[in-house]
């Protein structure tokens, strides 16, 4: 069970003739390729395009990424989610500066030893930037191979993933392989043709002739994925404290969910108006005006926040005795704070940031 060489050649030629023009394909700079691959993990390409170009303008090389302030980095990453990816990028950049003279290593074996760079990302950088004959197997590639080879086992299992990756390996040992185009061809095919949701566009696929799922009319039920654990639902109440000029923001802890990012103050559970007033009284915060705001929901990978929010008008925030992790920000200052998209409903409600 393997990808046939003539099909690998067809796919390579298909990519070279039909690939999209994307900003990280403008050259073979390993830094640009690395950042794009990290951004594209679990994030739609449409969401990445604009953020990527802004990121590159602000942090054009490994050195600038290694020394960027955390708040600026989180602000640049805002809207992409999975913020630990950004923190790992910076950590890895610092290691590259310290251990590799600021130059991205050129081989898979060196790359995969860097923090935050796993087998897929190492394979992508090594093959695209340096044309090393190594695979880069992500969910798109696993789906293509499962259909091509008619693998019915759970695609989430490590054993199945290994079987599918092994189906690729003989191709990379072939003298005529063009790893850069082959790997990007697999990525492009999975994004545009052999798609995960809805019917794949098999008539456009260069692998269709030898695809077993296509031959047996089973592209809709291959691959098989076992169900993930259901997300836990959590109720949250937000306190949007403000005076005439400023809003109160809380900086979350440096570990855990939304680590190091800014949020409106809040607690678990939903509170009544009376409970909110009592909570403010306990904190010795005068309530001059209290208003219920629209509810909001945000879905993380493992949890759903069901949020209700209260606007609380109070005395000048700068005069309050606040813990160190609470700060009063003007609208202009909030535009520079790293506030995650979980709070987009309320950012938009107050027009605190243009998108």
Residue 99 sits in a domain whose CATH number is 1.10.340.30
- In which band, very low, low, confident or very high, does the pLDDT at 232 lie, cut at 50, 70 and 90? very high
- In which band, very low, low, confident or very high, does the pLDDT at 267 lie, cut at 50, 70 and 90? very high
* Alpha-carbon span 166 to 3, nearest angstrom: 10
Predicted TM-score of the model (pTM):
0.84
Burial class (CB in 10 A: 0-12, 13-18, 19+), 184: buried
List, for residues 139-158, the tens digit of each pLDDT value.
999 999 999 999 999 999 99
Could you tell me if 26 and 123 lie in one domain? yes
Residue 295's domain is classified under what CATH number?
3.90.79.10
Percent of the chain with pLDDT over 90: 80
331 compared with 187, residue with greater pLDDT: 187
Q: How many structural domains is the chain composed of?
A: 2
Reply yes or no on whether the pLDDT at 121 is more than 80: yes
| 337 within domain boundaries | yes
Could you tell me if 13 and 113 lie in one domain? yes
| 223 within domain boundaries | no
pLDDT at residue 207 in the model = 97
Could you tell me if 195 and 292 lie in one domain? no
Could you tell me if 191 and 319 lie in one domain? no
Could you tell me if 206 and 243 lie in one domain? no
Domain coverage including residue 339: 232-349
Q: In the predicted model, what is the mean pLDDT of residues 200-229? A: 93
Could you tell me if 156 and 15 lie in one domain? yes
Could you tell me if 168 and 22 lie in one domain? yes
> Where is the domain boundary, 157, 188, 215?
215
Report residue 299 as tokens: 């879905």
| 193 within domain boundaries | yes
Percent of the chain with pLDDT over 70: 99
Reply yes or no on whether the pLDDT at 353 is more than 80: no
> Where is the domain boundary, 188, 215, 242?
215
- In which band, very low, low, confident or very high, does the pLDDT at 355 lie, cut at 50, 70 and 90? very low
Could you tell me if 247 and 325 lie in one domain? yes
List, for residues 160-214, the tens digit of each pLDDT value.
999 999 999 999 999 999 999 999 999 999 999 999 988 999 999 999 999 999 9
Could you tell me if 14 and 161 lie in one domain? yes
Q: In the predicted model, what is the mean pLDDT of residues 223-249? A: 91
The residues annotated as belonging to the active site are: 37
> Where is the domain boundary, 215, 240, 267?
215
- In which band, very low, low, confident or very high, does the pLDDT at 18 lie, cut at 50, 70 and 90? very high
List, for residues 79-100, the tens digit of each pLDDT value.
888 889 999 999 999 999 999 9
């Amino acid at each position: 069970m393997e990808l046939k060489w003539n099909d690998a050649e067809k796919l390579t030629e298909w990519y070279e003739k039909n690939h999209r023009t994307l900003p990280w394909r403008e050259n073979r700079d390993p830094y640009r390729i690395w950042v794009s691959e990290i951004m594209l993990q679990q994030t739609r390409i449409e969401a990445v395009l604009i953020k990527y170009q802004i990121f590159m303008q602000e942090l054009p090389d490994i050195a600038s990424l290694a020394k960027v302030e955390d708040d600026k980095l989180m602000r640049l990453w805002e809207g992409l989610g999975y913020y630990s990816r950004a923190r790992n990028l910076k950590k890895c950049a610092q290691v590259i500066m310290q251990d590799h003279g600021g130059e991205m290593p050129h081989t898979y074996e060196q790359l995969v030893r860097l923090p935050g760079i796993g087998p897929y990302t190492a394979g992508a950088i090594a093959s695209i930037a340096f044309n090393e004959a190594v695979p880069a197997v992500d969910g798109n590639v696993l789906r293509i191979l499962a259909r091509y080879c008619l693998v019915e086992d759970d695609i989430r299992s490590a054993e199945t993933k290994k079987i599918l990756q092994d189906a690729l390996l003989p191709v990379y040992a072939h003298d005529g392989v063009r790893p850069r185009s082959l790997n990007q061809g697999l990525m492009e095919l999975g994004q545009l043709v052999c798609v995960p949701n809805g019917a794949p566009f098999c008539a456009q696929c260069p692998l269709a002739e030898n695809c077993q799922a296509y031959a047996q009319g089973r592209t809709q039920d291959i691959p098989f994925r076992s169900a993930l654990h259901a997300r836990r639902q959590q109720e949250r109440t937000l306190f949007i404290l403000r005076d005439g000029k400023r809003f109160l923001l809380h900086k979350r802890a440096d570990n855990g969910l939304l680590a190091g990012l800014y949020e409106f103050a809040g607690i678990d559970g939903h509170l009544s108006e009376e409970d909110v007033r009592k909570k403010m009284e306990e904190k010795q915060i005068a309530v001059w005006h209290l208003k219920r705001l629209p509810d909001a929901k945000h879905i993380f990978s493992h949890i759903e926040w069901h949020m209700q929010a209260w606007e609380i008008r109070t005395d000048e925030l700068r005069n309050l005795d606040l813990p160190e992790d609470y700060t009063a920000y003007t609208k202009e200052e909030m535009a520079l704070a790293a506030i995650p998209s979980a709070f987009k409903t309320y950012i938009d409600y107050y027009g605190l940031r243009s998108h």
